[in-house]
Structure 1
Amino acid sequence: MINRLIIPVAVLTLLSIAACSQTPNPANNLAFNNDGKYVKVKDENNVSHHQLAYDIQDAGLAPKGQINVWAEKLVNELVLQNDALRPDQPLLITTPVLANNLNATNELALQLQQGLLTAFHAHEFNLVDMNVATSLRATEQGEFMLSRDWQLLPSGLPVSHVLVSTMTMTPEGIVFNGRVVNVTNNRVLSAVQSFVAASSLSGYLQESELIESRNGLLYRHEKKGDSRYTVLGEKL
């Protein structure tokens, strides 16, 4: 009787070990090597996505980084959740802002905005770029067409749908919330929420120091990383 139990017990033990070795799909599925070697980014969960498939090995396709992959995943879900916006309706992508200060942003958000625009275009949506000035500016530094000066930008753009989004920096990473809104009645047509671990955006984020200055005040922590992450180069 004891011998008969040995094999089933051994099989159950092996299955338990295999199950414990399989970690759940965390938010670090954007991570890849930055040493020049490309590692494909894919979801570990067996989930079907309605998205265009890109292969970095194909000739002519530009390489992508973590921030670009994140933007594509956000847009894929926004397209999946969309219940009213048609591809022929103009859409404007606004800059993600900080959830605790809707008048502030950072370098990471500015770059993410560019990625979101590209990802929406890959889904063949009708996009409007409000940063294109009304005239070309030829200077000694170069020829410029983009601007953030409202006086140089066109007015009365035919846009009734915009993507607005917020970001929150935490001690673990970034919380992102975005939604496509009809500005004529403020109706939300699609929404997405996401969390990305800081390790997945190592080229953009840095953990907090033991002593940090914020809004003119000094804060001391027991160890590094106790406070929220900050964007590299951000002025505190």
Structure 2
Amino acid sequence: MRQFIILPIALLMAACASETSKSGDELTYAGQPTDTNSWFMSEPEGQTPKALSYDIEKVGLAPKSQVNTLAEKIVNELVLQNDSLRSDQPLLVTTPVKVDAFSQTDALGLQLQQGFVAAFHAHEFNLVDMNVANAIRATEQGEFILSRDWKLLPSDLPVSHVVVSTMATTTQGVMLNARIVNVTNNRVVSAVQTFVHTDSLPGYLSPSNKVTSENGLLYRNEQSGDGKVAVLGEKL
């Protein structure tokens, strides 16, 4: 019976190890799975049990998409380039904005902000969430505490460092710039820039159509893809 159980698991591990990342997707992780002990696989009498190890693909951790991986990689480099911020100092993550309009964002920017928070927390930084309101709002639709209404938010957050980011679309993808700024003197303590191709974020980016809208005007290109990439869900 013991041999009958071990064989399928070994075959499954070999199949997982043979998987490769999608071609053209620079955001995909290509890691090797590790062995996962099972509760029903008892060790022979007198033999010390093996230490329990986990395979992310098997133990039920939350799955991640390309945008989550992108946020992690940006934060990893921000942590690497950081020259003064300590992990115990309060840090606030702001919403990424368009490089030519600092008061505008899109669906990609909103999700990247949430990804930055998770990634910085994984590095054990002292994060502050400014969107938590002063009181819970109980309504017929549910109970809510997150808000973007400044009148409902605390105004005295003890924060000296913030993460700011800008985005710019091109015909091939999106350029991202992120930095950590000390708001007491506006000093940049870490900065990162990266470019992501349209194919790497299929759920957020798509090639432009022949007819595009910009600043309320319509433009016609010779063919699709000649204009800047479109961010899915963005209001034109």
Which bin holds the TM-score, normalised by the shorter protein? 0.7 to 0.9
Match of 1:230 in 2: 230
C-alpha RMSD of the superposition? 1.6
Residue 119 of structure 1 aligns to a residue whose secondary structure is: helix
The offset of 1:96, in angstroms, is 0.3
Maintained 8 Å contact 1:177/1:194: yes
Distance 2:113 2:140 in 1: 28
- Whether 2:150 is the aligned partner of 1:154: answer no
Equivalent residue number for residue 125 of structure 1: 125
Query: Which residue type is aligned with residue 101 of structure 2?
Result: N
* Partners of 2:175 and 2:196 within 8 A in 1: yes
Determine if contact 1:55/1:61 at 8 Å carries over to the other structure.
no
Q: Which residue, out of 25, 28, 39, partners 2:25?
A: 28
SS of 1:73's equivalent? helix
Number of aligned residues:
192
Which amino acid in structure 2 is aligned with residue 76 of structure 1? N
Q: What's the CA shift string for 1:5-48, capped at 9, x where partnerless?
A: xxxxxxxxxxxxxxxxxxxxx983125xxxxxxxxx149xxxxx
Equivalent position amino acid for 2:25 in 1: N
1:86-105 matches, within 5 Å, as 86-105=86-105
Q: How far apart, in 2, do the equivalents of 1:85 and 1:215 lie?
A: 39
- Distance in structure 2 (CA, Å) of the matches to 1:161 and 1:30: 28
Cα distance in 1, alignment partners of residues 104 and 77 from structure 2:
25
Question: 1-side partners of 2:55 and 2:161: how far apart?
Answer: 31
Is 2:93 the partner of 1:69? Answer: no
Q: CA deviation at 1:60?
A: 3.7
Matches within 5 A, 1:106-121: 106-121=106-121
Contact 1:213 1:219 (C-alpha < 8 Å) held by counterparts: yes
Code of the residue aligned with 1:78 in structure 2: it is L
Whichever residue aligns with residue 83 of structure 1, its letter is D
The letter of the residue matching 1:100 is D
Aligned partner of 2:169 in structure 1 is 169
Letter in 2 for 1:123: H
* CA distance in structure 2 between the aligned counterparts of 1:233 and 1:190, rounded to whole angstroms: 30
Give the TM-score normalised by structure 1.
Answer: 0.78
The secondary structure found in structure 2 opposite 1:117 is: helix
The corresponding residue for 2:84 is 84
Structure 1 residues 86-113: Cα deviation after superposition (integer angstroms, max 9, x where no partner): 0000000000000011111001100000
Structure 1 partner of 2:15: none
Determine the C-alpha separation between the residues in 2 that align with 1:116 and 1:158: 20
Q: How much has 1:233 moved relative to structure 2?
A: 2.1
Give distance in 2, aligned partners of 1:133 and 1:235.
27
Q: Residue in 1 aligned with 2:179?
A: 179
**Structure 2 vs 1, CA of residues 55 and 186 (structure 1 numbering), >3 Å: closer, same or farther?**
farther
Q: State, as a whole percentage, how many aligned pairs show the same letter.
A: 65
Name the counterpart of 2:216: 216
- State how far apart, in whole Å, the 2-side matches of 1:94 and 1:27 are: 30
2:224 counterpart letter in structure 1: K
Which one-letter code corresponds to 2:72 in the other structure? E
Task: Give CA deviations for 1:206-227 in whole Å, capped at 9, x if unaligned.
Answer: 2111112222211010100101
